[in-house]
Structure 1
Amino acid sequence: MLMSSGDKSAKLHYGPSTFRVLRPGQHVFCAVSGEVIPLEELRYWSAEHQEAYATPELATRRLLGEG
């Protein structure tokens, strides 16, 4: 069975205010929870750590060293 692009995770480069798609896909994974984040819903990431986060609370936990 062939996988559609909807089944593939994207590879992104996270910048300070935007991200660049390095490998096309439909989603990324939260670095803290492992939750799937559809690209159209991605709002929180760290350019320094090159990680995505599902919620602002998870981003804060990770950046405070708790995640």
Structure 2
Amino acid sequence: MASIPNDPGKWSRAKAKAKKKFKVYPSAYANAWAAKEYKRMGGTWRGKDNRVKKKKKRRA
């Protein structure tokens, strides 16, 4: 399950800004920028935490 924005209005505005800023949308760069802009605007996410977790070191 992907992360879902809690405020669809802010997410739409962030995507609109990305579409104006980047020649190609959707793209990885444009989506990353839109997500960062959404977060800067105070937006939050819900859903599964997709961050990479550190692996535990195995003892020999």
Q: Structures share a fold, TM > 0.5?
A: no
Indicate the TM-score class for this superposition, using the shorter chain for normalisation. under 0.3
The structure with the largest helix share of the pair is 2
Q: Which has the higher contact order (CA 8 A, sep 6+)?
A: 2
Task: State the TM-score, normalized to the length of structure 2.
Answer: 0.24
The structure with the largest strand share of the pair is 1
Structure number with bigger Rg:
2
Task: State the TM-score, normalized to the length of structure 1.
Answer: 0.22
